[in-house]
């Protein structure tokens, strides 16, 4: 019988990872998404909880693209194209 080590996300217990570093990156992405959602909700109170959650996750998953855009490279946002999130930097 083989033993397999898996890591569980502390912020999303349903999500399992084979690598601790990957699980940590995912948790940090979710933490950023939560913070972004909170800021977005304060800025635009008319957004629903689901909308701010989805926006927060989208922005967190694409944080590198948004960071470049905020550093005077607004064309970086064109990489986001049709609204699909780039692969998360897990």
Confidence bin at 90 (pLDDT 50/70/90)? very low
In a domain, 86, yes or no: no
Going by C-beta distance under 8 Å and a sequence separation of 6 or more, which residues neighbour residue 31?
A: 11
- 26-43 burial, b at 16+ Cβ within 10 Å, e below that, comes to bbebbebbbebbeebbee
In a domain, 2, yes or no: no
In a domain, 31, yes or no: yes
Compute CA distances 74 → 3, 36, 58, 70, whole Å. Answer: 48, 19, 17, 7
Q: What is the DSSP string of 1-12?
A: ------EE-SS-
Total of domains in the chain:
1
CATH of residue 62's domain is 1.10.10.710
In a domain, 85, yes or no: no
In a domain, 1, yes or no: no
Domain housing 40:
7-80
pLDDT for the residue numbered 82: 61
Q: What is the pLDDT of residues 32-41, one digit of tens each?
A: 999 999 999 9
Q: What is the pLDDT of residues 33-84, one digit of tens each?
A: 999 999 999 999 999 999 999 999 999 999 999 999 999 999 999 989 765 5
In a domain, 51, yes or no: yes
pTM (global) more than 0.85: no
Q: Tell me the β-bridge partners of 40.
A: none
């Amino acid at each position: 019988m083989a033993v397999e080590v898996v890591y569980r996300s502390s912020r999303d217990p349903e999500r399992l990872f084979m690598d601790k570093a990957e699980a940590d990156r995912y948790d940090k992405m979710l933490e950023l998404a939560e913070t972004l959602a909170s800021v977005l909700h304060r800025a635009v109170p008319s957004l629903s909880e689901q909308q701010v959650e989805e926006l927060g996750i989208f922005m967190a998953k694409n944080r590198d693209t948004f960071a470049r855009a905020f550093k005077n490279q607004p064309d970086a946002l064109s990489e986001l194209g049709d609204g699909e999130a780039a692969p998360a930097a897990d």
